[in-house]
Chain A
């Protein structure tokens, strides 16, 4: 199969890049991390206006009704720019759940939330039963929460939250106490199993896409530093040992990229192996990003350990996202299970 992005998808990316180059500089990220919310409402509004937030929202709710292949480059761009706003959680996780979950009141729920998400007026956080804390819970208007095999949509006002610390200043996790009620039920039984499984796959692919961008930025920053930093009378990038570090990081990134893109395609097209592809994507992208972070720290030397240097903004994101929605070993185990399971051991 020949796989390539079309002109629109590439143009979407280039416009998002133009926006983030201007309004999501390292100084902007630091400001966001230090702020109460962890991100900027004005940048969120700009993302809504551009159409980023409504990308996966169906057209009848003022969205563009597009899929994950259309989204994947934008998630990568979010990673590259260090975007503190919850783009992944909103577009790749929450919107498809609200769009696809049936049950009583599903239509009212869609009307209430999907248009508001596209317009930038509503933020949704997602938490599964295995998560000790829900990322972005404090800034969400609606929380999609799993308990006892059921999925519920709970308005923020009906929850009690205890903030927890995170390495990544934009994630803002919180422990959420809440009571399930018939009115909040989104899916139960077999429906919930299906919705949660596809949520987990989208999360693995989407987190992988953001991690690609994070790895890309770490490599670019480090390559620039290696050209600039002089030791023993030469730029350190001229030493073979440093070149090898950078080259290995780039190779890991270039091998992870097609796996993430393929996963987006498989999820959009209901490929029977979509879950395996999502796990491959997350495992490879997490390795690429944590590998790039380790390499960046090594090449930067002592300055890389400081808060003042920007490299920490992307390293911390690499570490926190690599662990989110299943780390690399977990996803590798899933891939193994799928392959061996299919062969009957």
Chain B
């Protein structure tokens, strides 16, 4: 089985970040790291693939400046190889334009199963995985909290507001996994050293047979028109418990749909 894991390399969320005043999008200079939410997908892919039995886990990523640090981390966790698409023409890509590029790259890996995170930590659009599935003509299952593969199908416990649905679909397919689906392993030191020599294919827009006008800012239909500061956190409500405090707690949790 060929497993493809979509991996985003993002600026370190722990470091201070800035928006480009013109495009109002995140400035992505300097070292990028593996998006934490993708570590779950990588771990899921590694657990589902029987690498000893010839299954291959391929990482696919799109990043500026040929950046590979985040991919190396995922390779160190145990993935077999990686495809990176990097091209100046991709600057300013929106989710759909990214999906078009990565669809072309992913086709090359002939996947049986594609895994992506539910959403990225820096963009949070959460639309890329389903767009990708649509472009590839594959079924998709989102919000997986448990994934099993067997006999040409994938079975998923799909998180819902009330609990979860059991969903089954034929392979090839795309699955998005939630944080907590599995516990990502730490790359071992052997893995870190081995990652240096694992195959990492670097592709440009032209390599994928795409035209520069279809991708990047030129090919994007989405634009950030305004950025404003988030509302200040409001002060909490103080409830005096007169023996009925639990009712407030229950009502509050119900509002949040936690119970």
Contacts and interface: CB of A to CB of B under 8 A. Distances in A.
Partners in one complex: yes
B176 to A, nearest CB: 24
Contacts of B72: 11
Interface in A25-68: 46, 49-52, 55, 64
A242 interface: no
A12 interface: yes
B252 interface: no
Interface in A1-37: 8, 11-12, 15, 18-19
B193 A15 contact: no
A11 B188 CA distance: 10
A112 B187 CA distance: 27
B125 to A, nearest CB: 27
Interface residues of B, number: 11
B186 A11 contact: no
B190 A51 contact: yes
Interface residues of A, number: 13
A35 to B, nearest CB: 23
Interface in B166-216: 186-190, 192-193, 196
Contacts of B76: 11
Q: Which of A11, A18, A64 has the most CB of B within 10 A?
A: A11
Contact of B189 (A18, A46, A50): A50
A15 B190 contact: no
A216 B94 CA distance: 42
Contacts of A12: 189, 192
Contacts of B190: 51, 64
Interface in B63-83: 72-73, 76
Nearest to A52: B189
Contacts of A8: 189, 192-193, 196
A49 B193 contact: no
Contacts of A64: 189-190, 193
A19 B184 CA distance: 11
Interface string A116-137: 0000000000000000000000
A49 B188 contact: yes
B188 A55 contact: no
Contacts of A49: 186, 188
Contacts of A18: 186
A50 B188 contact: yes
Contacts of B188: 49-51
A51 B187 CA distance: 9
A38 to B, nearest CB: 24
Nearest to B192: A11
Nearest to A62: B190
27 contacts: A8-B189, A8-B192, A8-B193, A8-B196, A11-B73, A11-B187, A11-B192, A12-B189, A12-B192, A15-B186, A15-B187, A15-B189, A15-B192, A18-B186, A46-B186, A49-B186, A50-B186, A50-B188, A50-B189, A51-B188, A51-B189, A51-B190, A52-B189, A55-B189, A64-B189, A64-B190, A64-B193
Given A49-B188, A52-B189, 20 more contacts: A8-B192, A8-B193, A11-B76, A11-B187, A11-B192, A12-B189, A12-B192, A15-B186, A15-B187, A15-B189, A15-B192, A19-B186, A46-B186, A50-B186, A50-B188, A50-B189, A51-B189, A51-B190, A55-B189, A64-B190
**Which 7 A-B residue pairs are closest in the complex by CB-CB distance?**
A51-B189, A51-B188, A11-B192, A15-B186, A50-B188, A19-B186, A12-B189
